[in-house]
Amino acid sequence: MKKINNTRKTNFLKKLFIKLCRLFGFEIIDQSNFCSPTLNKDLNETLSIQGKKSITIPLGQIDIKNKINKLKIILRSCTSELIMDQNKRRIFDKEKNEYTFRALRSLIKSIKKASSKFKNIRFDLVVADTNSPKEDIDEIQKILNQSNLENKFISINLDDFKNKIKPGYSKAKFSNMASFYTSLMIAKKESADVIYFVEDDYLHSEDAITEMVFAYEKFSTIFSKDLVLLPSDYPYLYAKDEETKVYLGERYHWRLVSESLVTFMTSKRIIENNFNNLEKMAIEWIDPWETPLHNIYNTNPCLSPIPSLAVHCANINSIFGVSPFIDLKKLWEKNKD
């Protein structure tokens, strides 16, 4: 009987200790059972709490200081141009609308998974379309309507930009600049904390948005400044002998980079503070087109995931496309319909 009483006493004290830890916001680890009693989770589960704390075993806890309340996702679509000003074919050799549809489906799946996990974040999806034929627009709107997400479809009128964009560009470049201009204006008027600009040829993993939310909150807290996150691990970033730094996200490593394409997540503050320079991308095409973005990375960190969270469906030989060590065929088939 004495042994049983001691056990009961021990269990009571343990439960009391756990309650006190929860009350004061401390998390404890039971390594014998590979769990966190205060969180009621196994250690191989996500331990971080969005907007409150980032927990990485064995590095401990970081209290989040830059909470995301609203995330605006702006997808720029155009199904009438396969690859801008090029005769090359994309991986899988399909027409452009197929990449747009699958990219949108993959993005929606990723948003829905994140929204089911992050009940306190408002997710808002906008598709800004340029030059897509009516049947493709109908399909895009059908996919949006079936998503049950808060969404909006915008059809861009290129005539509105004839006096804004410098003349002399191809129709494809002009459309691309007008599309980016529209995205910037949406972001500028938006009340969201964070904006995600997405091109319509990126296939997202289901964990992409979830990881990016955790990573943005964690790294902006660590750096004490706004930053830029890329969804893709671009091959061309390995073609240069540059120094970098590697950080631990929630489930992925992230590395510091100095360049990107035009699919990126950042804060509204960065957009506002750099609007005039970013607007130059929408007015005049100077190679490399992304230079105003790259200039931001001189003062605000830009991080890329390892391995990739989204894959750019370019030509297989393009160093700006297919990310390494990703089962792209599986990801492609997963977003067929």
For the chain, what percent of residues have pLDDT higher than 70? 87
| pLDDT surpasses 90 at 12 | no
- Main-chain phi, psi angles of 253, to 5 degrees: -85, 150
Q: How far apart are CA 256 and CA 228, in angstroms?
A: 10
CA distances from residue 96 to 84, 128, 302, 314 in whole angstroms, order as listed = 11, 16, 29, 11
Query: For residues 145 and 157, what is the distance between their CA atoms, to the nearest angstrom?
Result: 23
pTM of the model: 0.89
pLDDT for 278 beyond 50: yes
Structural domains present in the chain:
2-45 (no CATH), 70-334 (3.90.550.10)
CA distance 255 to 323: 14
> Is 152 or 4 the better-scoring residue by pLDDT?
152
**Is the predicted pLDDT of residue 4 greater than 60, yes or no?**
no
Q: How many other C-beta atoms lie within 10 A of the C-beta of residue 87? A: 6
Q: Show Cβ contacts of residue 275 under 8 Å, excluding neighbours closer than 6 positions.
A: 184, 188
pLDDT, tens only, 29-51: 666 676 667 667 776 778 888 99
160 vs 138: CA distance, rounded Å? 23
Residues 227 and 266: beta-carbon distance below 8 Å = yes
